[in-house]
């Protein structure tokens, strides 16, 4: 299978990983629409909303709540958009949830290394 997210899960492609557990990996989007734009991706390949099992989907939503708090605390986001595409709207054919921070004042997109450091600091 030639799935970029599966390659990230296997370590074949590096990522700016923010969080990881036995079910999911959360990493920064390399083409962010805003500072802190991240993806929550299940480790097991599943195509979309029709194929993901309910327990994994609920776990992803729990992690989304944690990531929302993280971008509010560390990046001072004023809101968050959760986005999940299916069918022709889906660029990568592996279920993933976008967590896109929103800011009341427009911000320039910062280098991904800088955002990663802000999110990973203890």
Residue with tokens 């986005």: 83
Q: In this structure, what are the phi and psi dihedrals at residue 65, rounded to the nearest 5 degrees? A: -65, -40
- DSSP code for 62: H
- Domains delineated in the chain: 4-120 (3.30.428.10)
- The structure tokens listed for 28 are 């920064």
From CA 94, how far away is CA 52, in angstroms rounded?
10
The yes-or-no verdict on residue 122 having pLDDT over 80 is no
Instruction: Tell me the pLDDT tens digit for each residue of 36-92.
Output: 999 999 999 999 999 999 999 999 999 999 999 999 999 999 999 999 999 999 999
Q: Which of 66, 69, 80, 75 is nearest to 19 (CA)?
A: 66
* pLDDT(23) > 80: yes
Can you give the pTM of this predicted structure?
A: 0.95
Would you name the residues annotated as active-site residues? Answer: 96
């Amino acid at each position: 299978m030639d799935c970029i997210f599966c390659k990230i899960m296997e370590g074949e492609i590096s990522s700016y990983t923010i969080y990881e557990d036995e079910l999911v990996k959360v990493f920064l989007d390399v083409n962010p629409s805003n500072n802190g734009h991240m993806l929550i991706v299940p480790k097991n390949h599943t195509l979309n909303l029709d194929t993901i099992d309910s327990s994994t989907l609920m776990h992803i939503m729990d992690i989304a709540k944690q990531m929302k708090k993280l971008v509010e605390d560390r990046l001072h986001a004023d809101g968050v958009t959760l986005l999940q595409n299916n069918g022709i709207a889906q660029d990568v054919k592996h279920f993933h949830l976008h967590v896109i921070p929103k800011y009341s004042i427009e911000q320039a997109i910062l280098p991904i290394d800088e955002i990663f450091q802000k999110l990973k600091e203890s």
